[in-house]
Amino acid sequence: MIDSSSLPLIAIVGRPNVGKSTLFNRIIGQRRSIVTDEPGITRDRIYGTTDWSGRSFEIVDTGGMVPGDEQEIPSRIMEQAQIAIDTAALIFFVVDGRAAITAPDQELARLLRRTHKPVFVVVNKIDSEKQGADESEFYRLGFKDVFPVSSEHGRGITDLLDKAAITIPAQAKVEEADSKEIRVSIIGRPNVGKSTLLNKLVGQERAMVSPIAGTTRDAVDSVIEQDGRTIRFIDTAGIRRKGKTELKAEKLSVVMARRHLERSDVALLVIDGEEGVTALDAHIAGYAHEAARSIIIVVNKWDLVEKTASITADYEREIREKLKFISFAPIVFISAKTGQRVQKLYGIIIDVNEARFMRVPTKDLNEFLRQEVMQRGGLPAEVKIRYITQVKVNPPTFVMFSNKLKKLHFSFERFIENRIREKFPFIGTPIIIKQRLKKTTRQTA
């Protein structure tokens, strides 16, 4: 597992609509989907990791920067981008290769020069050699490294990443934790009871508890032995929507919380039982899902909820409706303050971790393929899955070999995932499905 807290960070910055997110998706090799319908989520920093030439990097995509715009949203986007710049080892300054240098480009260049950090000017939307001369004017921005690329088509990305790999100093070796250790992060918005839960789980006051939202700003690791297993709890700062946190120290704690999440195998997503599921809860759950962590949904303060005959079922139904993208996550109703059902979490953590590292033999998978998929139907008639195998654990990753030349629709992968979950006990863990397509046969003269 990559510990992103130890990786050098590359920040992608630039004015709006120059292709920053397309470049980000190209580098990390996947499309990051929006997890809630709440406006403004794409203005937040989005993190990912990538490997290149034997080096691993963390990448952060930022919102479009408009220097000097004092309106609330642009100014807060600037604040978030500035935090990314402050923590970056290298900056990709993206500009539009189809347009002339703009005043915002020039102002951003001045801001970036003052950082004294390495900056690569990434001239995007250079889709062909015919446009090659157009990027020359961007040397006027004052940086020696200028890379013409097409983020959409992948042109020039190899040269960009090759130079990045030799520009950023190699990170120090980080001692790997015991492979038998279960690393559990405790995540959630401020004041939902994360520190109280940690204290109850470890049986001592390891984290400061306060009714003031946002008390915890750093992660405090606590290691315990439970049923012969070593569990490391990572208490993370409450994650707030960026821009709603006024103090820079708290904003930086959000960056660290995101990184500590990626140190873990299992995430406890703590929700306030009195308030119910909020859009911010969904946003935080999206962080864990994007990081491919196993997830347990912990509904805290259950002792304060007025009970009815159907309250538990109704509450679970609401959670499943609002957090559809983590439907695989088990739900536990607890009171960290009184200790109600807290001990139950240990068994669930162990079960979820075991599912994360479970490997299904190939012969069992292909028997499942024949009986549960091909015979039961549900696939388009022209689609034939020839073979399926599990290629890795942590998280469980499967490769399917089909008769198609082009990748099948996402809904098809979801169909296979649902069938796998019905057959095998992958509780609480995401499942990654990859497709291997039929190779084209070259025509001979």
**For the chain, domain boundaries:** 4-167, 182-356, 362-436
86, 89, 67, 88: which is closest to 78 by C-alpha?
A: 67
Q: How far is CA 60 from CA 5, 81, 234, 344, in A?
A: 13, 9, 22, 37
Residue 327's pLDDT is what?
Answer: 94
Residues in the chain: 445
Fold of domain 182-356 = Rossmann fold (3.40.50)
Q: CA-to-CA distance for 348 and 331, rounded, in angstroms?
A: 10
What the block records as the tokens of 368 is 């499942």
Residue 410's pLDDT is what?
Answer: 73
Yes or no: say if 408 and 384 are a contact pair by the CB < 8 Å rule: no
- For the whole model, what pTM was predicted? 0.57
For tokens 């082009």, the residue is 406
Q: Which residues, 6 or more positions from 111, have their beta carbon under 8 angstroms from its beta carbon?
A: 67
Yes or no: say if 52 and 165 are a contact pair by the CB < 8 Å rule: yes
Q: Which residues of the chain have pLDDT under 70?
A: 1-6, 30-45, 66-80, 130-135, 170-179, 204-221, 235-257, 259-260, 372-383, 404-406, 408, 437-445
Q: Looking at domain 4-167, does it have CATH number 3.40.50.300?
A: yes
Residue 67's pLDDT is what?
Answer: 65
| Burial of residue 150, with CB atoms counted within 10 A of its CB: 0-12 exposed, 13-18 middle, 19 or more buried | buried
Residue 52's pLDDT is what?
Answer: 87
Which amino acid does the sequence have at 156? G
Fold of domain 362-436 = GMP Synthetase; Chain A, domain 3 (3.30.300)
Residue 32's pLDDT is what?
Answer: 44
- Do the domains at 4-167 and 362-436 have one common CATH topology? no
Residue 436's pLDDT is what?
Answer: 78
What the block records as the tokens of 339 is 């200790």
What the block records as the tokens of 114 is 């003052």
Cα angle vertex 97, ends 91, 98, to 5°?
A: 150
